[in-house]
C-alpha cells in the first residue's frame, strides 16, 4: 500500500469518530470516499422519492473523472479540517 492509500485508510478510520457535521460536508465526504474506493459513479440515479439515496449518488457522481488518488488526498484533507 502506498503512502496516499495509507493516509486515506487512516483518515477513513478517524472519520468514524468525528462529531456530526453539516449535511453538505457529510455528502462531500461520502462522494470523495466513494470515488476513492470505487472510482466513477455506476448504476442508475435513484428516483425522486429516494431523497437520501439521490443526494448520495449526486455527491459521488459530482466527482466523476477525478482520479482515485486525488479523491483520497482531498478526503484526507477534509477529515483533517474537520478535526479528525
Domain CATH code at residue 49: 1.20.80.10
Please answer whether residues 26 and 55 qualify as being in contact, where contact means their C-beta atoms are separated by less than 8 angstroms: no
What domain range includes position 34? 3-81
Q: Does residue 72 or residue 83 have the better pLDDT?
A: 72
Task: Tell me how far apart the alpha carbons of residues 34 and 12 are, in angstroms, rounded to a whole number.
Answer: 11
**What are the tens digits of pLDDT across the range 1-35?**
699 999 999 999 999 888 888 889 999 999 999 99
Residues 31 and 62: beta-carbon distance below 8 Å: yes
Which candidate, 82, 43, 3, places its Cα nearest to that of 34? 43
Number of structural domains in the chain: 1
Measured CA to CA, the distance from residue 48 to residue 71 in angstroms comes to 27
Q: 42-58 pLDDT, tens per residue?
A: 999 999 999 999 999 99
CA-to-CA dists, residue 38 to 17, 27, 30, 49, angstroms = 23, 16, 12, 25
Amino acid at each position: 500500500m502506498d503512502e496516499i492509500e495509507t493516509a486515506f485508510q487512516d483518515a477513513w478510520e478517524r472519520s468514524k469518530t468525528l462529531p456530526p457535521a453539516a449535511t453538505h460536508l457529510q455528502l462531500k465526504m461520502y462522494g470523495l470516499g466513494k470515488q476513492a474506493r470505487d472510482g466513477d459513479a455506476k448504476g442508475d440515479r435513484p428516483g425522486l422519492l429516494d431523497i437520501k439515496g439521490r443526494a448520495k449518488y449526486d455527491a459521488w457522481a459530482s466527482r466523476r473523472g477525478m482520479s482515485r488518488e486525488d479523491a483520497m488526498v482531498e478526503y484526507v484533507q477534509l477529515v483533517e479540517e474537520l478535526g479528525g
